[in-house]
Amino acid sequence: MYLYMGLLAVIPGIIYFTFFINRLLRTILNIHTNWFLIIIIGLVIMVLSIPAMNTLELYGVIYYHLLVVMLLFELLNLGLKRFPIYRISFTTGILGIVVTALFLGYGYYNIKHVVVTTYDLKSDKVEDLKILEIADLHMSTSLSVTELQKYCDEMSQLNADLVVLTGDIFDENTPLDDMVNASKALASINNQQGIYYVYGNHDNGSHAFSDSEFGPEDVRATLEKNGIVVLEDAVVSLDNINIIGRKDASFWGTNPRLSTSQLLEMIPENKRGNYTIMLDHQPLNLDENAALGIDLQLSGHTHGGQLFPMGIVQSLTSDTLIRGQRDIGDFTAITTTGIAGWRYPIKTGAPSEYVIIKYKIKEPPKLKMKSHYLRCLI
């Protein structure tokens, strides 16, 4: 999959950068080019581009962003090329390189500065409920245990009723000590009714890169030792809330798991009128879950589109809830961008966040009396 992603960036990159260098030689340096020289330029660009096929490494990320920035400026060039300052700074590549460097610097700043996103919801089933959602820490990629503890201390001040961890808290690059100490930090978050965890596609051991120092059972044992409830196709019923934790679907749904209907059957009869929360690492089956009576679905996984403009492209080409809130009748789905990101400490496509969901009782609709009826009463 990652090879195909790399090809999508590299093939147009080879074509564009060959065109760009050829134009630079002709228009700025006044060097006449012919087909032989263009082929030589293309071969050099190809050699420099091949390492960028590995989009999991920093070189590929820099190449990808430079290409996107240059293509955006190419569009602007259609209207701004009549201005000499823009034309020269763009044609020489100075503008693209400087903006790309600034953009990647922003990406590093963005992944290291976590914001709080708050959603205010209403329901006639719950009142004054506060849920804290945390996802996609990918411990040790950009987030240290010390930094996590600082955020956990901040989160404790919120005094949430429920804390939910919606997957990929750890991944294949997390050292064992960090997994253990991060579990302790997360368990320290102040709450009223428990901390609940579901696996993601990285911390459940199903990811293609499985050279981790620990497995999913080690994660479960460590979390449970610290009082965190692990839900994997399982249900917990509280006084007025049901929490369903789904097994992660993994890549393209290759991880067999129970259906939403089967999970709903696991709720005790006397609790089926409760407010029901679905925890699913990936924002899947939204329409189905809405139709089956789930009240709230909380997910992560997408990172909000970690690298610009992937989130925008995904939103335009699929029905996936990349980030934010979607309402379907009385059903609400929320996808968080996560506290961190995967593989490299850069996040140019979305902010890093943890989520607070606050509830108020839904007021019944007010009856409107028609004016002529009021006149009759008078």
321 vs 286: CA distance, rounded Å = 9
Domains and CATH numbers, the chain: 2-109 (no CATH), 115-361 (3.60.21.10)
Element (H, E) at 245: strand 241-245
User: Which of 58, 8, 2 lies closest to 344 in space, CA to CA?
Assistant: 58
pLDDT, residue 365, reads: 60
pLDDT, residue 368, reads: 53
SS3 content of the chain, % helix, strand, coil (to 5): 45, 15, 40
Q: Which residues pair with 234 in a beta bridge?
A: 245
C-alpha radius of gyration, the chain, whole number:
25
The one-digit pLDDT tens for each residue of the chain (378 residues) are 455 566 777 899 999 999 999 999 998 888 988 999 999 999 999 999 999 888 778 888 899 999 999 999 999 988 888 888 888 898 899 999 999 999 999 999 999 999 999 999 998 888 889 999 999 999 988 899 999 999 999 999 999 999 999 999 998 889 999 999 999 999 999 999 999 999 998 887 665 445 678 888 999 999 999 999 999 999 999 989 999 999 998 765 566 889 999 999 999 999 999 999 999 999 999 999 999 999 999 999 999 888 887 778 777 777 889 899 999 999 999 999 999 988 888 899 899 999 999 997 766 666 554 544 444 444
pLDDT, residue 141, reads: 85
Please state, in angstroms and as integers, the Cα–Cα distance from residue 218 to each residue in 144, 165, 178, 222, 255, following that order. 20, 17, 13, 6, 19
pLDDT, residue 371, reads: 47
Structure tokens at 117: 């996103």
Q: Which residue has 């459940």 as its token pair?
A: 204
First to last CA, the chain: 74
Phi, psi of 101 (to 5 degrees): -60, -45
DSSP 218-277: HHHHHHHHTTPEE-SSEEEE-SSEEEEEPPP--GGG-S----HHHHHHTS-GGGTTSEEE
pLDDT, residue 363, reads: 66
Structure tokens at 101: 């460097």
